[in-house]
Copies of this chain bind each other. A is one copy, B any other.
């Protein structure tokens, strides 16, 4: 596979002169993840586009929400599975394996969430995300009602929709550009859950999520780091 190291099939131009905030953000990615996610390098030909993308991704995946970060990754991965998005299944598949502390579970959602042992809440959440992905024109009040009955607030429903919507955008950007994920993602959180669970019980801190968002200066500042 000779072209594996390319970032994408388009060449929209050289890297823009990045704003200092972005440069710092990239440095944090390198420090935390060991690399800058290729999606950011792909957007880096234009500072304004990159910034808007990071702000939105960051807010959705790491901001305040009634959904846990692992649940948001579940939505990201379930949507990307429906759209067969190589980039997002690789990068967010890695994030989900890590966040859920169960690599088999992460893999399963990347294959077919219906085969996973989900509680009613998460089943309802992913059913909504799947329908919103496959048939957005058929969503109606009954679908929102099913989420409310599963315990979600209106704000939670917004967040489910926003994450599902965002990946319907990102999956298409990755498809249109044939975006290639960083190879490192393949090797994240592949050890057996029992082993990592053990490590966790010994006080090990879970590694930061392999998305740049985890390293966001703004979010980190908000968290007082």
Q: Are A141 and B9 in contact (CB under 8 A)?
A: yes
Q: CA separation between A52 and B51, bound complex, in Å?
A: 9
Contact of A111 among B86, B102, B132, B160 (CB under 8 A): B86
Q: Is A35 an interface residue (CB 8 A)?
A: no
Q: What's the minimum C-beta distance from A196 to chain B, rounded to whole angstroms? A: 12
B residues in contact with A161, CB < 8 Å:
172-173, 176-177
Q: CA separation between A190 and B93, bound complex, in Å?
A: 14
Q: CA separation between A12 and B138, bound complex, in Å?
A: 22
Residue of B nearest to A180 (CB): B115
Q: Are A172 and B165 in contact (CB under 8 A)?
A: yes
28 A–B contact pairs at CB < 8 A? A9-B141, A11-B154, A45-B155, A49-B59, A53-B56, A84-B111, A84-B136, A86-B112, A86-B115, A90-B111, A103-B186, A107-B186, A110-B111, A114-B139, A114-B140, A136-B171, A136-B172, A137-B175, A144-B178, A158-B177, A161-B173, A162-B173, A165-B173, A166-B169, A169-B169, A186-B192, A187-B190, A187-B192
Question: 10 shortest A-B CB distances, which residue pairs?
Answer: A161-B176, A84-B137, A86-B115, A169-B169, A52-B56, A52-B55, A84-B112, A165-B172, A1-B117, A136-B175
